[in-house]
Structure 1
Amino acid sequence: MDRRVYGSDGEPSGPVPGHAYAELRGGPLDGELLDVTGWSVEERSGGAFLITDRGRYGAGGRAAYTPAEDDPEGPFLWEGDTP
């Protein structure tokens, strides 16, 4: 099963070998993968505000995702949407 990578507009849309990914859980991007290749521990701990038109605020809105406290190397969990 191909998993969609956040921000991939063309081919390949799935994971690239040798890259590191965090699964996005919950919210408008649920199930997508975020490429975190090269992110430091500090960058990962800060999470991400990801542009999406599928969130509460439509086009230009952002979905906030942060790593689970008990698993900083694991999935990013949805925190909510912001304009």
Structure 2
Amino acid sequence: MDELEHRRVYGTDHDDPHPGPRDGHSYRELVGGPLDGLLVDVTGWSQEQLDEGALLITEIGQHGPGGRTEYSPREGSSELWDWRGDLP
């Protein structure tokens, strides 16, 4: 069984009966920070977007509701994105 199968995907509702990854999609695992352990669906992202990472909206970061948290690819691992900090 795939180790990511039981993980929750960023952006799914807490009451979603199937919050995990879906077949045919590509994901990156978030490491550290307020979204640690979640997966981000990067299906259809360009290589440039994948190289940049993402600013993700979160209510549980340093700046509260509406704040963003930054994740970018870990050097040497295309599957893991490390937390870089929170932004208002």
TM-score by length of 2: 0.87
Decide which of 67, 71, 82 is 1:61's aligned counterpart.
Answer: 67
Percent of aligned positions that are identical:
54
Cα deviation, residue 40, structure 1: 1.4
Paired position in structure 2 for 1:82:
87
Cα deviation, residue 38, structure 1: 1.0
Paired position in structure 1 for 2:36:
30
Equivalent residue runs for 1:5-20 within 5 Å? 5-9=9-13, 10-20=16-26
Structure 1 gap segments, 5+ residues each: none
The answer to which structure has the higher strand fraction is 2
Structure 2 gap segments, 5+ residues each: none
3-state SS of 2:34 partner: helix
Aligned equivalents of 2:76, 2:23: Cα separation in 1:
26
TM-score by length of 1: 0.92
